[in-house]
């Protein structure tokens, strides 16, 4: 059986395969909007390589983390703007 890690996304416990990015975990949790634009439009990952900055979330209290570039670790607390 593959190794997994459990983290919290918007207050909900989510278990993903070890090595998954935070962006993948957020999507697996069913969150469709990672953040809001200045005009209030929902935003989600676009490029998957950290260039577009649309995947920004708050991780362990640190805002503006690019979730597509960060590998999940057990116990992480992730917050989106949804």
- Residues 17-50: tens digit of each pLDDT: 999 999 999 999 999 999 999 999 999 999 999 9
Cβ-contact 66, 19 below 8 angstroms: no
**Whether pLDDT at 1 is above 80:** no
Among 63, 67, 81, CA closest to 10? 81
Domain range 4-79, its CATH number among 3.10.20.440, 3.30.420.40, 3.40.50.720, 2.60.40.10: 3.10.20.440
How is the chain split into domains, by residue range? 4-79
| Distances 18 to 4, 15, 53, 70 between C-alpha atoms, Å | 5, 9, 23, 12
Number of other residues whose CB lies within 10 A of the CB of residue 11: 8
Q: How far is CA 53 from the centre of its chain?
A: 12
The overall longest dimension of the chain from CA atoms, in Å, is 45
**Whether pLDDT at 2 is above 90:** no
């Amino acid at each position: 059986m593959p190794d997994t890690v459990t983290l919290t996304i918007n207050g909900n416990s989510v278990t993903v395969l070890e090595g998954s990015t935070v962006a993948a975990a957020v999507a697996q949790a069913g969150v469709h909007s990672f953040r809001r634009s200045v005009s209030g439009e929902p935003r989600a990952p676009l490029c998957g390589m950290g260039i577009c900055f649309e995947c920004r979330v708050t991780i362990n209290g640190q805002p503006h983390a690019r979730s597509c570039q960060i590998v999940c670790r057990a116990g992480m607390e992730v917050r989106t703007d949804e």
